[in-house]
Chains A and B, each alone.
Chain A
Amino acid sequence: MRPFSTVFWVAVILGSGVLHAAEVPVEHPPFKKDQYVHHAPTVDDLMKDQEIKPQLKKVILKGRDIFMNTQQYRGKYVFSRLSCKNCHLGEGRLNWSGPIWPAATTLPDYRGKNGHVNSLEERIAGCFSFSLNGKPPEYGSDIMLALSAYHQWLALKAPVYETHIGGRGYSSLGKDIPKDIHYVQGEKVYQAQCAICHGATGQGKSVEGKVVFPPLWGDDSYNWGAGMARVYTAASFIKNNMPLGKPGALSDRDAWAVALYVNSQERPQDPRYTGDVKETREKYFNFHQYTMYGTERDGVLLGQHDNTGAKPFLKPDALRPRTFDE
C-alpha cells in the first residue's frame, strides 16, 4: 500500500500546482428533444456584422443600453429600482433566464394575461408596467423602437413562430408548489444564501445611488401584478439563476421555499387593483392563483393597500384592452 500512497500524494501536490483545482458547477436543466436551442449573438458579433447598417447598429446598441440600465428613466418610465437585465440575466441572452428574443419570433400572439393578441411592444410595455412598476414609453417612440430592435437582433437566425424553445421563460420546476413547502424554511434559505447581496430585509444594495443588488420586495421592487410575483416563476428563476454565479446550487425545495418567502412580502399594488384585493385576486385568478396576493400571512392580508411605491398613479394608460372589432 505504501508506495501507492506516496505516488498518490505526489500527484496531489503536483496537481495542486496547476490551475484547475476547485470549481463551482453551472447546472441547468437539460433541453428537451425537438426543442430549438438558440445561441443569441453578442455585441462583438454585432460590431463585426457587415450586413447590418451602422445606423441600425446604433439603435440596437441604444436598445441594449436601455435594457441594461433602465434606471436612467427612473421617475419617468420606471418607479422601481430595477432594470430589465436584473431578471433577464446576461444581457437578455441567457437561456433559463427568460431570454427576451423569443418575443420577437413568436409575437404577435394571444396572451392569456391580458386576453388579446399582443405585439412585441405590448410585451415590453407589460414588463414596464408590472416588473418595473412603471409607465411604458409611448408605442412607436424612439425608446420602444430601440428596445424592439435589440430584441429582434438577438433573435438573429431563429425560426419565426417556432414555439418549442429550449430554456425559454422561467418554469422548469413546473407550476404547482410542492405541498410541504414552508415560509419559515424559505426565510432560513434567504438569510443564509441571499441576504449578503439583497439585504436582510430584501431592500437590495446601492453604491452612491447606483443599484448594485436589486430589491426583492418593498416599495422599490416589482409590483403584485408582475410575472415574478408568481411563486413558480420566482422558484424557477431562483433555481436557475441564484445565488448569482451558482445556477442550480439550491435544491428544488430550497428554491420553492425561498420563492415563497420572497413573494409573501409586501410590494407595490397590482395596477389592475379594483380597490379590493380579494376581488382583484378573483378577477385575475388565472394569474393570481399562483401568487400570494389576497391571501393571509400571519393574520395580515397581503396586497390590501393603496401603496403604489414611488409611482404616483395606479394604472398606466398603455394597459388597455383590444378587440379587433373595428
Chain B
Amino acid sequence: MMQVHRGWLFSAVLALTGVAHGAGDPEKGKLIVTAGDGSGAPCIACHGLDGAGNDLAGIPRLAGMDAGYLVKQMRDYRSGARKSAVMSPNVDNLNDGQIADVAAYYATLDTAPTSLPSGAPGALALGEALATKGDWDHYIVPCETCHGPGNVGVGSDFPKLAGQHPTYIKQQLKAWKTGTRNNDPNHLMLAIVGRLTETQIEAVAAWLARQDPKGGK
C-alpha cells in the first residue's frame, strides 16, 4: 500500500516541478546506487548503504531529501553549474532517466539521524535564533522563512536542512561565500550566506544538524 502511495506522490511532485521526464523508478535507482553504473565507485561507497552520508568526511545525507531537489543538484554537477572534484565524476555519465531513478530512490529512504554529541549551549542558542528569527538588522532572513517550518524543506527548490550533517552544511555555506558554489536560483541563498559571519555559520550548522529531519521536536 505504502509503496503505491509513495510512487504516486513522487510523480505528482515531479510533474509539478516539471523536472523529470516521467517519474523516477526507485527500484532502478536502488540498483545504480548500490552497484554503480560501471564507471567509478557506487554511491553507497560514500553516501552509505542507507543514504546517511558521513559527517567527518563532509558527505551529505541524501535519505529523505526531496527528489526534485536531488535531480536538480545531480544535473548541476553533470553540467558543471555545481562543481565538486569528489562528487561530479559520479554523475557525469548518468542520463536524465537514471538521475530521476536515483533521486526517487533516495527520497524514499527513511534513515534515523546520526546522533551528535551535545553542542555548546551558547552556539546552539545563536544557531536557533538565526534559523527561526534571523538577524534582520543585518538582513539575515530566518532560514525557516525559505527552508520551511522546522527547516524540513519546501518543494524542490528549498532543500531540507534539518538533520543534515554540520560539516556538510558549513562546507556549503563557505562554498557560497568563496564563490565555489554558485548554482542557487536567482542567488537567493547567496544573498543570505554573504551576510553570515564565520561564528554564525558554525552556530547555525550545529543547531540545524540537531533538528529532526521530519520536523518533530
Contact = CB atoms under 8 A, between A and B. Distances in A.
A189 to B, nearest CB: 12
Contacts of A244: 141, 145-146, 188
Interface residues of B, number: 32
A159 interface: no
A90 interface: yes
A26 interface: yes
A187 interface: no
A275 interface: no
B194 interface: yes
Interface stretch (B6-14, B32-40, B152-160): B152-160
Contact of A19 (B141, B178, B185, B186): B178
A93 B136 contact: yes
Interface residues of A, number: 32
Nearest to B150: A207
A16 B178 contact: yes
Given A21-B179, A22-B176, A212 B139 contact: no
Given A24-B194, A207-B148, A207-B154, A246 B188 contact: yes
Nearest to A97: B136
Contacts of A247: 139
Nearest to A206: B154
Contacts of A16: 178-179
A193 B186 contact: yes
Contacts of B157: 196
B149 interface: yes
A210 interface: yes
B123 interface: no
A243 interface: yes
A117 interface: no
Contact of B191 (A196, A208, A210, A245): A245
A23 B176 CA distance: 9
A17 B178 contact: yes
Contacts of A53: none
A220 interface: no
For A20, A192, A245, the residue with the greatest tally of chain B CB atoms inside 10 Å of its CB is A245
Contacts of A246: 186-188, 191
A123 interface: no
Contacts of A196: 157, 185-186, 188
Given A21-B177, A22-B176, A94-B136, A245 B188 contact: yes
B125 to A, nearest CB: 11
A26 B138 CA distance: 9
A219 B191 CA distance: 32
A207 B66 CA distance: 13
Contacts of B177: 19-22
B1 to A, nearest CB: 21
11 contacts: A17-B178, A23-B190, A24-B194, A192-B186, A196-B186, A196-B188, A243-B186, A244-B146, A245-B192, A246-B188, A247-B139
Interface of B: 133-134, 136-137, 139, 141, 145-146, 148-149, 152-155, 157, 174, 176-179, 182, 185-188, 190-192, 194-195, 198, 215
In the A-B complex, list the 7 residue pairs whose CB atoms are closest, starting with the nearest.
A90-B136, A24-B191, A23-B194, A245-B191, A21-B179, A19-B177, A207-B148
